[in-house]
Every structure is written in structure tokens, then in C-alpha cells.
Amino acid sequence: MRTLTGRLVQILLAVVLVACGGTPGEATDSSPTTAVAQRGGAAGTIRLYTSVTQDTVDAVLQGFQSSNPDVKAEVFRAPTGELNARLAAEQRSGGVKADVLWLTDPLSMYAYDEQDLLAEWTPNGAEAIPEQFRTERFWGTRILNLVIVHRQGLQPAPTGWQDLADDAYSEPVAFPDPAFAGSSFAALGYFALDEEFGFDYYRALRANGAVEVQAPDEVITGVAEGRFSAGMSLDKSVRDAAEEGAPIELVWPEPGAIALYSPIAVIRSTTNEEAAQALASFVLTEPAQAAIASTGWQPVLPGVEGPPMPTDAEQVFPDWEAAFGRQDELLSEYRSSLGD
């Protein structure tokens, strides 16, 4: 019954759309690739589901297509929430259609791993990735650093995370809401589980009048507009805005920027394992890592040159293993420590 009515609707709508000059389900033509550096053996069509920013996906795929001209990679890119909803709906109606999953942060990937969605396969060369940026079934592709951004000329400039809880910055400091995105959740994962900070840190922030905004970018906008004196955001976005002339400055904080990685994995149910593995391993090649760096992100492979960073740049890492499964608990304790 379900399929029958569905098919009926499909035919009906197809007629309407064709009558209006559209073609349902038309696919983008893969532009003929000119230079073929090294021809991979994989072929066919694969589908990549990703929440990674568009320009980075474009840059990486361009390289992949020229080295694998026989593979056509279709991309579904959406913000994390929409992507998760689509996957959840597909899981409940006929199965996941993706072959490769490339996410912004590891949190959702842990969940999909727990649901046995991911193929048990690791590409050659994965061991070159620092250990904190990979697991057995998914591995990092790029690194996002949560850093401090402050208003140009702010005196004294904050030097570490603890400074943001200081009276000197009672003109509000801003944090992205950890309940809105996994990348922001990384900060909660780090602070809450770190002995030096703990939830006391959030209580101190709230006492100091800190506010939360929906997304890391809104912190930058607010600091640039003078609404906030300082706040937490992503290094790449801060650098971009500062380069364009926004009146802000980046501080690599003490004890370190909170570093999280964007993981990629092959879906277990893929029908084109070879091509899916080709794409998933391609992001670890030097050209792909360079492409990622060219869009402003820190590559995950230590040897590849990334965007400018302080020479003694320290990084700290959330314990994803420990945080996963405790999101609810962490978020609700976070809420109560903010006094909500």
C-alpha cells in the first residue's frame, strides 16, 4: 500500500514537474576531467553525506575526482542537525543511502559507530594521524581549534581560558551553546571533564555575566560589533574575519586551544566498497590535506603545512570516549551550573 501510493504520487508529481519544465532526480553532470594524475581503479557512483563546510568539501572532491575520474561522488551537505535527521529518517525507512560519512565533530560519529553503521576498515596511513584524532573505524581529516577572540585593543588582553572568568571581562564574554552543535560541545567535553576546570569554571563564567549564543560565528560577530568583550570561537573563522578587517584579535589560550577533529568513515552498508574506501582514504593523502589547509583549516597529518599558528601553540583535547554517552548528563549539569 505504502509503495503503491508512493509510486502514484511520484508519477503524479513527475508529470506536473515535467510539465513545468523540471526534471525530477536529475543529476549534476560530472564535468569532464582534463588532467588525470594517477588513475585509481575504483568506479561507479558513491554518495557522501557531510556536514563539513562547503568550500572544504569542494576542494577535497576536486582532487578526488581528478585522481578517480571513473567515480562519481554525489554530495549531500547539510548542517549537523539536518544531516542527523536525514540519517535517522533513512535508518527508519529503507536504510541509509550514504556510502561515506564525513562529519564536523566526532560526537555523532561515536553514536553511529555504536549503532554499527560504520564499516570495519582502516585505510593505510591512518597510523600517521595522532592517536587522539582517530579510532578504529573513523579517523580525523582536519582539526578545528576553539580559541579566544577578543575586541581589538582590549586591555589587558586575556591569555587563557581562566581569564574569561575574571572580573576584568565582566562586559560579557560569549560562548557558543554546547547544546546547538557538536563542535561547541567539545568545549563542554573538555572543561567539564578536566580537573583544573570542571563545572566550577562554568559557574564562575556565569557569575561573571557570560552569555551563550547559538553558534561560534555569532561570537565573532558580537565581539566585532562590540557587544561582547571576548569569547570562544573557531580559529579559522576568527582568522578569516580579522583578515577581512573586522576589529578583533585571536588569542591562542592557556593551557591550549581545544582541538577537535572532523572524522570520516565508510558506511557498512555501502554497495560500492571500493569507491567508498578510495574516497575515505583519499582525504588522508597529501593533496587532500593540502586542499583542506588551503581552505583555512589545520590538516590532521603532522607533515602538511597548515594555516599560521603560534610556534608554541598548545592544544588540549576533550576525552570523547568519556564524554560519549554522557551528553545528557553533561548538558543538564551545564545548564544547572549556569543557573538555568
Partner 1 sequence: MRRSRGWERSGRLVVGLALALLVGYPLVRLVLAAFADGPEPVLATFERSGIARAVGNTVWTSAAVTAAAVALGTAGALTIERGAVPARRWLRAGLLLPLLVPPFVAALGWTAGYGPGGVLDDAVGVAVPQLYGPVGVITVITVNAVPLAYLIVAGALRGRAEPDLERAARVSGASVRTALWTITLPLLRPALGASAVVVFVFSVNSFGVPAVLGTPAGFETMTTVIYQNLAFAADPDAFTRVLVLAVALVLVAVGAVAVSDAVAAGGRVRRTGGPAGTTSAHVTTQGRWAAAVAWGYVGATSLVPLVALVLLALTRAVGLPPAPRYWTLQNFADAVDGRTLSSLGHSLLLAAVAATLLVCLGGLVAALERSPAARRLGTLATMTFALPGSALAVAVLLAYGSVLADTLAIILVAYLGKLWALGHRPLAAAVDRLPGDVHRAARASGAGPATTLITVVAPLLSPALAAGWVLVFLFAFHELTMSALLYGPGTATLGVAVLNLQQLGDTPATAALAILLTAGVLVGAAPLLVFRGTWSRLRRVD
Restricting to residues 245-264, which ones interact with partner 1 according to CB under 8 A? 245-248
The whole-angstrom separation of Cα 36 and Cα 147 is 40
Residue bearing cell 571513473? 70
Nearer to partner 1 (CB atom), residue 105 or residue 285: 105
d(CA 285, CA 129): 11
Q: Judged by CB, which is closer to partner 1: 188, or 301?
A: 188
Task: Kindly state whether residue 74 participates in binding partner 1, applying the rule CB under 8 A.
Answer: yes
Which residues, in sequence order, are bridge partners of residue 251?
A: 148
- In whole angstroms, the minimum distance from the beta carbon of 264 to partner 1 comes to 15
Strand 139-151 relative to strand 230-234, pairing: antiparallel
Answer for which of 43, 66, 70, 76 binds partner 1 (CB under 8 A) is 76
Smallest CA-to-CA distance from 240 within 215, 217, 261, 259 is with: 217
Decide if residue 24 touches partner 1 (CB under 8 A).
Answer: yes
Interface with partner 1 includes 198 (CB under 8 A)? no
| Residues in the chain, total | 340
Report the nearest approach of partner 1 to the CB of residue 227 (Å): 5
Stretch in the footprint of partner 1 (CB under 8 A) among 19-27, 59-67, 161-169, 270-278: 19-27
Grid coordinates representing 6 are: 508512493
**165, 212, 252, 334: which one contacts partner 1 (CB under 8 A)?**
212
Residue 186 vs residues 62, 178, 236, 330, 331: alpha-carbon distances, Å: 30, 8, 16, 11, 11
Is residue 231 involved in binding partner 1 (CB under 8 A)?
Answer: no
For 246, the grid coordinates are 573586522
Nearer to partner 1, 44 or 81 (CB): 81
In the complex, minimum distance from the CB of residue 150 to partner 1, in angstroms, rounded to a whole number: 12
Q: Tell me if 340 contacts partner 1 by CB under 8 A.
A: yes
Residue whose CB is less far from partner 1, 63 or 106: 106
Query: Does position 128 bind partner 1 by CB under 8 A?
Result: no
Q: Does 209 bind partner 1 (CB under 8 A)?
A: no
Given 42, 61, 161, 177, the residue binding partner 1 (CB under 8 A): 177
> Is residue 112 within the footprint of partner 1 (CB under 8 A)?
yes
Burial class (CB in 10 A: 0-12, 13-18, 19+), 224: buried
Q: In angstroms, give the least distance from the CB of 195 to partner 1.
A: 26
Is 308 a binding residue for partner 1 by CB under 8 A? The answer is no
Assess 35 for contact with partner 1 (CB under 8 A): no
